[in-house]
Structure 1
Amino acid sequence: MVTAPPESLLTISKVREWKVERDIVAAKVAVLSETLTELDGKLQAVSEMFPDLDVEKIAAPVTAKALALENPKTWPDLVLSILSKATGPQTMHSLKASIAETEFAERLARNANGFYNAVSRLTSRGEIERVGDTFYSLDFRERVEAGGIGISALEMAQDTRKPTTPELVLETLTGQGYLTPKQIVDRLKGNEDFDEKIARNPQYLYTVLGRMVARNGVVKNNGKYATPSEAAAMEREEKTDEATGVGTANSPMLFPQPSGSRH
């Protein structure tokens, strides 16, 4: 409740001032009311034209992460951006095909390790989902169920270019921790080109792995191999266990190792 000033302080000038201020506020309210009515009408028309359009979602505040995905500057943001817009499962090859159309194309051609490490880190941190050899954004299934993506989009587009052996190795190691050469071969069985090369030269994989180690494409430890990012993650985990006095035998590993193996 507004209280009037004491009678001794109430003057004609003060009343005139209040009246003028009130009229100004009323005029502003009238203009705002008309604007509000006009905007409501426009939004209503849009909703009628596009029933599936979520106006509230469109108007939601733009987060820093959303801006980063719209204009990615790092490998992880680029991978997340591609997956968030994808209409189907993505392989390493289809991801690289998408990257070839971005400003990251030159960096990918020069050295693909940044790309592979980004996929590995995102997978291990649970920011993307891996099923077999395909990758999804975390909201992919929700978009399918919501009808935003047609069921036919679940059919994966095949990349016509055959992957190189180093690419196959990196794909196999991603998200798996350390693997022995035999475990890598076992996982690649069924790839006709790779099977043929191994049949011709049983030492072929060792030659490829040696070159990849020399180029810092993979890390070798006690006869096993891992992507650089996963090797670094496991090393940090071991140091943390040592610092806290937790034995590795009782500590859950970031990347499960095959039964009976050590790295």
Structure 2
Amino acid sequence: MTREDVLARRERRGEILAQIERLQTQIQDIDRWLEAVALIAPDDFLADVLPPNPSSKENADRASVWRQAVEDALGVAERGMLPRDLAAYIRDHGSVEAREKINRNPNGLYNMLARMLDEGLAAKVGDKFYSPALLSKLTESGEINEDAYSDSATGTKAIFIKAFEHHGMMSPKSLMEILRSDPEVGPKLKANPQYGYSTLARLVRQGLLIKEGSIYKLPLKENEPSSVGSLDGSDAELEEEESGLPAFLR
């Protein structure tokens, strides 16, 4: 046995899990279609077409365990939860049945999340999942963007700081143009342009950036001479850009 054998077997396992997940999704889609047909078709039409399914109760019980586990996790959350956060909560606080399921078939969590999204029992913003009540609360308070795209687990904060270290002081427009090509930040900016401005505001609040007029820069280090002027175009360009910024960044 070689290292390559182990890697190949591990890769094959991942492929099989992906196939299982796709097949489970297809089965769920077919089950939903059949359930819809059962509601609208005459009984005599269904008599020989949809005989009682002995496993239907077992499937329902299995789904109810997943549903309850996810509802419990989202119900106590004060912020959005990544799938790994949900899995960790279920492992630590879930029922015996739920803990067994998350350890035996973690993909079942993704299947249930997809179903709950379809049914309106869960919501998703960015990479995080919410109960509908929590999403409404965070949306009303204006906290949803900052929470949904939190950089606590992604290193986004470091990417922003490195951009300033490399390019110096910048206007938001210049920064966003640079970061659009970043493989981690770029997709987030495309999905939600407000994300970049929220991150800038958070970095200023944390003292990691300084805002002077229409530009942002890193705090001066001790004995470092201050610079004058803008490195990102004329004052007129900055004023024009500033007028289009969200109010909390002006």
Bigger RCO of structures 1 and 2 (CA < 8 A, at least 6 apart): 1
Q: Which has the larger radius of gyration?
A: 1
| Greater helix content | 2
TM-score when normalising by structure 1: 0.29
